Structure 1
Amino acid sequence: MSWFSQCGWIFAWTLVVSDVIAKESAEQGNVMPQNSWLAFDAAHGAAIAVALLLVGSLIYLRLQLSKTRRQLKKALAQPLPRGWTHDELTGLPNARLLQTRVQQRPLPGSAGAVVMFQIREFEQVNRLLGYQHGNLVLTQIAFRLNDLLEKYPQVLVLESHPQLARLAHVGGVEFACFVDLTEQTHLADVLVRDLLRAAPEPLMLHGGVIDYRVDAGIALMPQHSADVTQLLQQARMALHQSRWHQLAGNMEESCVYTPELTQFNQNRLAMMAQLQQAVVQQQLQLDVQPQIDLMTGELKAGEVLVRWQHPTQGLLLPKQFIPLAEELGILYPLTCWVLHQALDVLQQLHQAGEQIQIAVNVASKDLMQPEFVEYVVEQLTSRQLPPKLLVLECREDALLQDPPRALAMLNRFSELGITLSLDDFGTGYTSLGMLREMPIDQVKVDCQFISDIHRSDAQAAVTGAIIDMAKNMQWQVVAEGVEEQAAAETLARMGCQRGQGYYFSRPFALKGFLPWLRQYQHHHPANSPQTNAFGPQ
């Protein structure tokens, strides 16, 4: 029905209502005054006025609706603003365009995978270079990843003009692409391995070299979800899970999402909240494990080990919560707290006339903090402790992430006289040429090379080669995981100077180090490990 017909009906019904009112008034015997025709015409006039008002309103609404339709049609005919579908910083497609392109595939429900990439610890780049230069670095990394994807035609092209883009910037330091798996079901895994190996090539910026690392996660369509937004969330969970395992030392863990990760993620978030409370409620405890001279049986040092006495899960080892502390951003204050407590005990030993070293593990992230050097100096100076009694242990990854910076920081510690130890030696990928330049005083041979050294000729050969190499580099050698007397004897014959493990002592409370030392000295005035009667504790 047209708007003109609707107006006519409204006017007609108004007249009908007026007639009905007038007739009812006459039937009730109401006497009409002399000018009743005026009153009757007034009633009709009022009705007409109301009708005209309604008609005018309807006409106005129809005109506005018609205008709105024309404006909407004009807007739809114009292309969307680029900011709606692209990232302003890198110019790459965003998550919205990625979702649109996936939905526009010829076979929208066919097998595929969302692969997410995340630049690890990029906040350090922003802190060191500033956000403006940090944005330049992020853009360079983004285009490098996008270029590396060109060799895979199965990766969905998101746009071809003004540049060929297969990668989407989905937020922060996260990027994603979509891989068609209809012909090669394991292509996503292959792609991730290739990119994680090729992508972290150092970047040049204003004459400086910038190193970075990339993490990845995979979610599958349609197994995990048919919605791109959901797949991005699942790939992010897989990415964090993969990184968690890497920080815990499990380098071969898969980065593909599984439904169990949802529960894992919830548990991890709960553990994060509990860890923050653990620091306040003093649930963290410090243990120490002695290091014994394999030739004389003397106590030479003790390694400080942090544990978490969880209220429901019991005693948790560092690899179960240190990655959480790193994600929470509380690893540095936690390291400073451990160092403070360790130096308190070292001061007790020193005042008792003992020249025993205390070893503290330092994460690569903390080792690179310029303020950490000042904190160490301040703590040593305030207690009047010889710097050589403090041993700082770091893993090889501290040297790999930023070798020039690592060398500069280690040189500062070395110049102060602090002993530097390389933990888990033999398990990393640091080149000997790089290690030769580092001011390392000591290496700790990982327990995987020690456990069967007295039973396996092959393991003995490998461990012997590691010890010989370290001795040629003039490094002191500490063997971890010594659990049997035969292993201690074999290591002593190979020329390994120190041993650490259950054969000598299990870890015990740090505060009890001095009493333990006195008891050990009483039972072992100058024994060799061959006649060690103290045994496992």
Structure 2
Amino acid sequence: MHTRSSNDDATDRQLKLLIGLVVVLAVGVTTLGVLHAVATRAAIPNPLVLILIYAISVISFRIKIVIRVGSNQSGYTWVDVPVMVGLVLVPVPWVILCVGAGMATVRILNRADPLRAAFVVAKEVLVIGAAGATMLLLGAQPSVDHPQASITAIVVAYLVSWLVDDLVFYPVIAVASRQTIRKLYRNDLGEQVIFRAATLATVVYIIEVLVLGASLVMLAFVPILVGCLYLWRLRRLRTQQERDSWRQLADTTDELSSVDLNQVLHIGAAQGAKLFSAAEVEIDLTASGVDRVVRAGTDGVLYDGPGPRKFDSDLSITTELETRDRSYQAGALVLDFDGKVKLTEFEQYKLKTFASALCTAIRNAAAYAELQRISEQNAYDAAHDPLTGLANRRELYERAEEYFAGRTEDGVVALLLIDLNHFKEVNDTLGHAAGDAVLREVAHRLDDAAAPGDLVARLGGDEFAVLLVNLITPALATHRAEQMLSSLETTLEVEGMQITVEAAGGIALAPGSGGINELMRRADIAMYQAKRAGQPTATYAHAQDTADVERLMLGGELQRAVAEREFVVDFQPIVDLGSGEVISAEALARWQHPEYGYLTPMQFLETVERSGQLPAFADAVLDQALAASGVWREAGFDLPIAVNVSPRSLLDSRFPATVLTRLASHAVPPDRLVLELSETLTISQLDTVGRALDELREAGVRLALDDFGTGVSPLSVLSHIPVNQLKIDRGFITATETSSEAAAVIRSTVDLARSLHLAVIAVGVESEPQRHALWELGCVAGQGHLFARPMSSIRLLGALQRGSGGRPGALAAALHDEGSVVRMPRRRASGSGRTTG
């Protein structure tokens, strides 16, 4: 049993009131008929005539054309024939008795609902009473032997009975089906006229035969006529019903073409109830792995939630929701009726077609929902850090740019840049898994401590940023920053160990110009100020900014400089210290500024690295360096070219592909390119840049470690970065002649390089004594002003062609006589990819 809604209860009450009224009127009509018969002393008719009227009533009521409206069944019957014939032959009370008894007999045999049976019998009593009263008023006198009824009286009486029948029938059926009387009557009027006309013709024919006294054999044609009319009428109704059903099914299928699964299910359930005249319809999706049931009636959705289904009895019809090829099954469709209903062959086919269309719509909507979920997931992944779930650098920049586009709406905005102290020790001591656990916990605490609207992001490694918004006053930024950093003070447990996280934070208020790049630069400066001072936070102050006014001005001119090719490349040769021959060259970027003149990297590189122009700048330098290498190669000097690369470039996942694309465009073999890395800048980002370096190394690009010996942990760098060359910092070269410690560092570096099969290059060779000292310490290559200052590619080509002492390609005299030193060929270390120098 299923729970009835308040609408159902209201409908039942209205039906009972209407039917009760009809029954009361029928009792009154019957009483009046009996009183009239008594008053006129009407004779008792022949029992055979009464039995005949009763039998014909039973047969006429059994032969009917059934129409199901809503969950109710109704139809056209031929009971009007025995009624009108009976009114011509016997008094009204006897017609009521015979016809009523016949209808009651059929209802009992069909085990019909008592309320409906009472309504049908009472309605027919009213119809008979109205027709009989009309005939009496028109002078018709019922008689078996001498019936006196004109055709006019019969026709008028039948029309009156038709009117009374409609007045009683349509209000009740309208309440039961919850439709308007006008709509029901309009839809049925055409069929009614034809059927009523056929019935009236049959009645007139029968009565004329009886009145004229013709042979009763003529009545044998009546069943044939009734049967033909019945079959014609049934076929016509079924054709109309099928046409309407297909049109309704097509409209429903169009409505199902939605990509919203909720809409598909709600439309399918509600339209299914209307399409099959069911009380309620259920869609059960448990077969597809979804615990969801949608239930609807003709008035709309009644339930949408988890199962189980509500209907599963003899009063319901269940069909599987599957595609025509049965490749996909979504669940089950359940039709529930108030009474037991058997679908016709056409309705079964229609149900199967509807179920297939609904299943296809569910599959399409589910597929679209999955695609939308994947799209949303991809969008989420593109904006969030995979380890911590926080926003990433890209999302932070986009949110900040939104502020700079309409800054007056959100009050004061500031950026808090956070860097964890000594985080590398966690990775080195406990491993990367423990380090990841620490980063996740830090991210969780920062996110919890953030105020509504603030954006917490992980920039990479152990660096976090918080975009502080809706600040009432600038001073509130410091208070909010201290609160967030204090959330990290509580110890956390990692692999059974208690760890205290220390961090330094730099605070910067949004600048009037420069956008997010300038805001990030200022927060970075403040963070390092906090680290140097040993304080948890520091706020950016312009007086403490080491960047001068000229560099700040340059920051706004970078885009123009890249677009107008103001960045050029000079080259400094790298020389074999023993022979004086050029063995490679290093590319050094310069900026030909229209106002400040020739600028070196020391004057603009930091600004470039902190701007959004770094990828374009690095690509321009690489392009010019490889182009020069091609010119030298065509002239007979196949020299490897070394290019400095910023660690920030290696954080860009597109950088390796850019390098390989440039190599291919200039037809330069990858092993002729050397990328120089600054050891002091990469020590804290080894894990982050390692993937990019491995990709370049596998492609054949060679790597060099610049400024070797100045970092805090050179051996750690060598264990993480697969380099081919070491470049000794110029500070050690300058002190070679006067400091035994510097000489010892150089000798140990050379020994280390030999053991690792690496080449060693001395940077900043300024004099012949330095050259001799380096040679004696085992260093075989160097660069510096002793050999040549940085120059353009064309000037370097000219110097190579002129040579030194008549030797093209040499820039200095040899330290030994020709043939006195035998150079061993470079050998490749097994499995390492490194070569000896």
TM-score, L = length of structure 1: 0.55
Supply the distance in 2 between the matched residues of 1:500 and 1:529 (Cα, whole angstroms): 15
Supply the distance in 1 between the matched residues of 2:804 and 2:733 (Cα, whole angstroms): 26
| CA deviation string 1:483-529 (max 9, x = no partner) | 11111111111111211111111111234332121123564456655
SS of the residue aligned with 2:648?
Answer: helix
| 8 A contact 1:203–1:211 mirrored in 2 | no
Q: Which amino acid aligns with 1:174?
A: L
The Cα of 1:355 is off from its aligned counterpart by 2.1
Residue of structure 1 in register with 2:200 after alignment: none
Residue of structure 2 in register with 1:340 after alignment: 623
Supply the distance in 1 between the matched residues of 2:546 and 2:777 (Cα, whole angstroms): 48
Aligned equivalent of 2:668, options 377, 381, 385: 385
| CA deviation string 1:154-188 (max 9, x = no partner) | xxxxxxxxxxxxxxxx9675169xxxxxxxxxxxx
Residue of structure 1 in register with 2:436 after alignment: 203
Residue of structure 2 in register with 1:212 after alignment: 462
| 8 A contact 2:642–2:675 mirrored in 1 | yes
Residue of structure 2 in register with 1:55 after alignment: none
Residue of structure 1 in register with 2:785 after alignment: 502
| 8 A contact 1:200–1:212 mirrored in 2 | no
Aligned equivalent of 2:574, options 271, 280, 291: 291
**Higher relative contact order, chain-length normalized (CA < 8 Å, sep 6+):** 1
Supply the distance in 2 between the matched residues of 1:476 and 1:128 (Cα, whole angstroms): 46
Residue of structure 1 in register with 2:508 after alignment: 236
Q: What are the within-5 Å matches in structure 2 for residues 305-316 of structure 1?
A: 305-316=588-599
Does residue 462 in structure 1 map to residue 745 in structure 2?
A: yes
Does residue 400 in structure 1 map to residue 683 in structure 2?
A: yes
Note the residue ranges of structure 2 that are not aligned, 5 or more in a row. 1-377, 393-411, 427-434, 442-457, 467-472, 482-505, 510-518, 818-837
Supply the distance in 1 between the matched residues of 2:816 and 2:522 (Cα, whole angstroms): 47
Residue of structure 1 in register with 2:775 after alignment: 492
Using a 3 Å threshold, how does the CA distance of structure 1 residues 318 and 259 change in structure 2: closer, same or farther? closer
| 8 A contact 2:507–2:527 mirrored in 1 | no
Q: What are the within-5 Å matches in structure 2 for residues 431-446 of structure 1?
A: 432-433=715-716, 435-446=718-729
| 8 A contact 2:526–2:540 mirrored in 1 | no
Using a 3 Å threshold, how does the CA distance of structure 1 residues 215 and 466 change in structure 2: closer, same or farther? farther
The Cα of 1:341 is off from its aligned counterpart by 0.8
SS of the residue aligned with 2:508?
Answer: helix
Supply the distance in 2 between the matched residues of 1:213 and 1:408 (Cα, whole angstroms): 19
Using a 3 Å threshold, how does the CA distance of structure 1 residues 314 and 228 change in structure 2: closer, same or farther? same
Residue of structure 2 in register with 1:360 after alignment: 643
Residue of structure 1 in register with 2:62 after alignment: none
Residue of structure 2 in register with 1:331 after alignment: 614
Using a 3 Å threshold, how does the CA distance of structure 1 residues 279 and 332 change in structure 2: closer, same or farther? same
Does residue 478 in structure 1 map to residue 769 in structure 2?
A: no
The Cα of 1:382 is off from its aligned counterpart by 2.8
Q: What are the within-5 Å matches in structure 2 for residues 50-199 of structure 1?
A: 130-133=382-385, 136=388, 138=390, 174=416, 196-197=421-422
Decide which moves more: 518-527 or 286-295: 518-527
SS of the residue aligned with 1:450?
Answer: helix
The Cα of 1:389 is off from its aligned counterpart by 1.2
| 8 A contact 1:361–1:393 mirrored in 2 | yes
The Cα of 1:262 is off from its aligned counterpart by 7.5
| CA deviation string 1:420-474 (max 9, x = no partner) | 1111111123452551353211011111111120122121112222222122211
Decide which moves more: 381-390 or 490-499: 381-390
- Calculate the aligned-residue CA RMSD, in Å: 4.2
Supply the distance in 2 between the matched residues of 1:127 and 1:265 (Cα, whole angstroms): 40
Supply the distance in 2 between the matched residues of 1:293 and 1:479 (Cα, whole angstroms): 10
Work out the number of aligned pairs and report it: 348
Q: Which amino acid aligns with 1:382?
A: S
Residue of structure 2 in register with 1:423 after alignment: 706
| 8 A contact 1:364–1:397 mirrored in 2 | no
Note the residue ranges of structure 1 that are not aligned, 5 or more in a row. 1-125, 141-169, 177-191, 217-225, 533-537
Supply the distance in 2 between the matched residues of 1:349 and 1:245 (Cα, whole angstroms): 46
| 8 A contact 1:294–1:528 mirrored in 2 | no
| 8 A contact 2:679–2:717 mirrored in 1 | no
Supply the distance in 2 between the matched residues of 1:314 and 1:461 (Cα, whole angstroms): 41
Using a 3 Å threshold, how does the CA distance of structure 1 residues 230 and 260 change in structure 2: closer, same or farther? farther
Supply the distance in 2 between the matched residues of 1:507 and 1:128 (Cα, whole angstroms): 48
Q: Which amino acid aligns with 1:236?
A: A
The Cα of 1:138 is off from its aligned counterpart by 5.0
Aligned equivalent of 2:801, options 498, 510, 518: 518
| 8 A contact 2:677–2:704 mirrored in 1 | yes
SS of the residue aligned with 1:328?
Answer: coil
The Cα of 1:326 is off from its aligned counterpart by 2.0
Residue of structure 1 in register with 2:498 after alignment: none
Supply the distance in 2 between the matched residues of 1:370 and 1:139 (Cα, whole angstroms): 18
Larger Rg: 2
The Cα of 1:409 is off from its aligned counterpart by 2.4
Using a 3 Å threshold, how does the CA distance of structure 1 residues 438 and 134 change in structure 2: closer, same or farther? closer
Supply the distance in 1 between the matched residues of 2:560 and 2:566 (Cα, whole angstroms): 8
Residue of structure 1 in register with 2:184 after alignment: none
* Overall identity of the aligned pairs, in %: 29
Supply the distance in 1 between the matched residues of 2:793 and 2:705 (Cα, whole angstroms): 22
| 8 A contact 2:508–2:539 mirrored in 1 | no
Supply the distance in 1 between the matched residues of 2:572 and 2:533 (Cα, whole angstroms): 30
Supply the distance in 1 between the matched residues of 2:764 and 2:533 (Cα, whole angstroms): 24
Supply the distance in 2 between the matched residues of 1:269 and 1:457 (Cα, whole angstroms): 42
Supply the distance in 2 between the matched residues of 1:504 and 1:132 (Cα, whole angstroms): 51
